[in-house]
């Protein structure tokens, strides 16, 4: 008997300790941070591989610009050399009567140190044009980077709204299962009272099973939506952040009086292609500059000795030279034709881009208008479906309505709620597409996204 009391006491003590530990862990655990759209965009700008790659391309262009600038600046080189000969170079000194001695011409072991300087004085405008071309190329790469950031931001918006939609549909699936279970309890109570036949209970049980299947699908859709958001953001998010489900209503979006003109002014591709075209024209000037005289200055100083560090024999020289291209078999002409063709190609691409922007802005505007109309219709449908389900359930409870009426009304209610969730998400996505088509960053759409 005493052993049983001790065992009971030990079990009770262990349970108390376990409860205290779990309570402490639960109290000390920090809640998951809420992931807002702004936070997701901030993470994407720092972790998305495409954005990082676009920054690397800008760095490459800047490196080429530095190289082009360096070609027109002074160049200095220092050299240090060592030479060993089989024998010391020497010659015979001749006098009036014949050889009079041996004259050394150098060292058997020679150390030499030299400093060389060079500077381009005139390049026919080739170096300045090449430098300007590289500067314009940097501007084009920066425009590409900006558009890449906008593309990623638009992808983040779509994935974020898609996740909110999946979470909202999950809530609808849970509510639908709860309503189905309540209906099943009512049907079973009627069956036990002998009011309805067993087939009505079976039909409701099938509806409950269907609701559970829909719940499983909704949970899977949420997991997939998390993966999609993580893919575009470039970082793992699930478990570290919590995200609220999508709102059921959409307020009015900020309007733009002339979205097409705004897009033509703000799209980075327009600026990028124009910079690339100007760079090609500068390349034409750089190629033509090679036909003009190339003037340069070089200077050198050296010391040589048989011992290290050399200091005995010193020498220096200064040279001024001019180089003329007399004949190159059409090499420069080919470079001019190539650069001019590139500039012409970019001009045509710029014209095609204008048409593409007009199409994107028009499509985004139409899609936004249609999405807002669907939100209004879906909102009315939800209100009607809720009232229809309430009436069908009341009639069934009063035994003046059928079981099928309740099942159909609940199915219509679930469809209406899901349709409204989809319409809201599509409206926000359509507005994001309009911002993207106009070349706007996320700053314009943050107020709407925060709603």
C-beta of residue 40 within 8 angstroms of C-beta of residue 160: yes
Tell me which of 89-93, 156-160, 348-352, 415-419 is least confident: 89-93
pLDDT at 34: 86
The DSSP letter of residue 168 is H
Q: How far is the CA of 308 from the CAs of 80, 81, 106, 111, 316, in angstroms?
A: 10, 10, 15, 6, 20
Q: What is d(CA 335, CA 260) in angstroms, rounded to the nearest whole number?
A: 38
Question: Residues 139-146: what's their mean pLDDT?
Answer: 94
Higher pLDDT, 18 or 410: 410
| Whether the Cβ atoms of residue 302 and residue 113 lie closer than 8 Å to each other | yes
Distance in angstroms (rounded) separating the CA atoms of residues 277 and 350: 9
Closest CA to 55 of 67, 46, 64: 46
Edge-to-edge order in the sheet of strand 313-323: 75-84, 109-122, 294-305, 313-323
Looking at residue 145, its pLDDT comes to 94
Do the Cβ atoms of 389 and 410 come closer than 8 Å? yes
Alpha-carbon gap, residue 444 to 263, rounded angstroms: 14
78-123: pLDDT as tens digits: 998 888 877 777 776 777 776 767 766 667 778 888 999 999 998 8
Q: What is the pLDDT of residue 10?
A: 61
The predicted-structure confidence for 216-275, as pLDDT tens digits, reads as follows 999 999 999 999 999 999 988 888 888 876 666 676 778 888 999 999 999 999 999 999
DSSP state, 73? S
Neighbours of 320 (CB within 10 A): 10
Predicted confidence (pLDDT) at residue 436 exceeds the cutoff of 60: yes
String of b and e for 31-64 (b: at least 16 CB within 10 Å)?
A: eeeebbbebbbebbbeebebbeebeeebeebbeb
Torsion of Cα atoms, 42 then 44 then 47 then 49, to 10°: -150
pLDDT at 367: 93
pLDDT at 112: 86
419 pLDDT tier (thresholds 50, 70, 90)? very high
378 strand-pairing partners? none
For residue 31, pLDDT over 60 is answered with no
* Average pLDDT of the chain, as a whole number: 85
Q: Give the pLDDT confidence score for residue 444 in this predicted structure.
A: 47
pLDDT 10s digits, 322-364:
998 888 888 889 989 989 999 999 999 999 999 999 999 999 9
pLDDT digits (tens, 9 = 90+) for 263-314: 999 999 999 999 999 999 999 999 988 888 999 999 998 888 877 777 777 7
Helix axes 331-397, 259-266, angle to 10 degrees: 140
Pick the closest to residue 160 from 237, 268, 50 (CA basis): 237
Asked if 232 contacts 152 with a C-beta cutoff of 8 angstroms, the reply is yes
> How confident is the model at residue 7, as a pLDDT?
59
Q: Where are the alpha helices (DSSP H) in 193-238?
A: 198-233
- Percent with pLDDT over 90 in the chain: 53
Least confident of 162-176, 320-334, 435-449: 435-449
Beta partners for 94? 99
pLDDT tens digits, one per residue of 35-65: 888 999 999 999 999 999 999 999 999 999 9
CA dist., res. 356 & res. 265, Å (int):
14
Nearest to 403 by CA among 169, 173, 197, 116: 197
Neighbours of 426 (CB within 10 A): 21
Beta-carbon contacts of residue 136 (< 8 Å; ≥ 6 apart):
275, 276, 278, 279, 282
H or E element, residue 443: helix 442-449
């Amino acid at each position: 008997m005493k052993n049983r009391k001790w065992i009971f006491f030990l079990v009770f003590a262990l349970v108390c300790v376990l409860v205290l530990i779990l309570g402490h862990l639960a109290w000390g655990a920090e809640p998951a941070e809420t992931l807002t759209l702004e936070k997701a965009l901030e993470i994407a700008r720092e972790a998305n591989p495409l954005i990082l790659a676009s920054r690397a391309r800008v760095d490459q262009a800047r490196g080429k610009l530095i190289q082009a600038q360096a070609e027109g600046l002074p160049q200095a080189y220092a050299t240090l050399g060592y030479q060993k000969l089989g024998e010391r170079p020497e010659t015979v000194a001749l006098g009036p009567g014949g050889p009079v001695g041996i004259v050394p011409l150098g060292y058997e072991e020679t150390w030499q140190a030299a400093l060389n300087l060079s500077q381009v004085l005139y390049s026919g405008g080739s170096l300045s044009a090449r430098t300007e071309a590289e500067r314009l190329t940097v501007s084009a790469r920066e425009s590409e980077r900006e558009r890449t950031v906008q593309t990623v931001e638009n992808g983040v918006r779509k994935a974020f709204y898609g996740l909110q939609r999946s979470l909202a549909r999950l809530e609808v699936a849970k509510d639908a299962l709860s309503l189905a279970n309540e209906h099943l309890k009512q049907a079973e109570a009627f069956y036990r009272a002998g009011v309805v036949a067993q087939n009505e209970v079976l039909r409701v049980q099938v509806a409950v099973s269907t609701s559970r299947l829909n719940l499983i699908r909704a949970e899977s859709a949420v997991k997939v939506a998390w993966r999609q958001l993580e893919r575009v953001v470039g970082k793992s998010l699930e478990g570290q952040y919590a995200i609220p489900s999508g709102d059921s209503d959409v307020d009015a979006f900020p309007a733009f009086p002339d979205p097409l003109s705004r897009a033509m002014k703000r799209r980075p591709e327009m600026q990028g292609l124009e910079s690339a075209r100007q760079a090609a024209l500068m390349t034409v000037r750089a190629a033509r500059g090679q036909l003009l005289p190339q003037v340069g200055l070089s200077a050198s100083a050296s010391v040589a000795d048989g011992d290290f560090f050399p200091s005995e024999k010193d020498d220096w020289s200064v040279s001024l030279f001019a180089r003329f291209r007399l004949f190159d078999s059409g090499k420069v002409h080919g470079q001019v034709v190539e650069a001019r063709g590139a500039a012409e190609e970019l001009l045509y691409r710029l014209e095609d881009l204008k048409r593409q922007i007009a199409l994107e802005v028009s499509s985004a505007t139409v899609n936004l208008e249609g999405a807002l109309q669907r939100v209004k219709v879906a909102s009315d449908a939800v209100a009607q479906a809720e009232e229809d389900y309430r009436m069908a359930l009341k009639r069934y409870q009063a035994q003046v309505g059928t079981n099928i009426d309740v099942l159909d009304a609940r199915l219509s209610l679930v469809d209406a709620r899901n349709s409204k969730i989809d319409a809201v998400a599509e409206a926000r996505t359509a507005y994001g597409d309009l911002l993207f088509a106009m070349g706007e960053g996320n700053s314009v759409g943050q107020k709407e996204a925060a709603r």
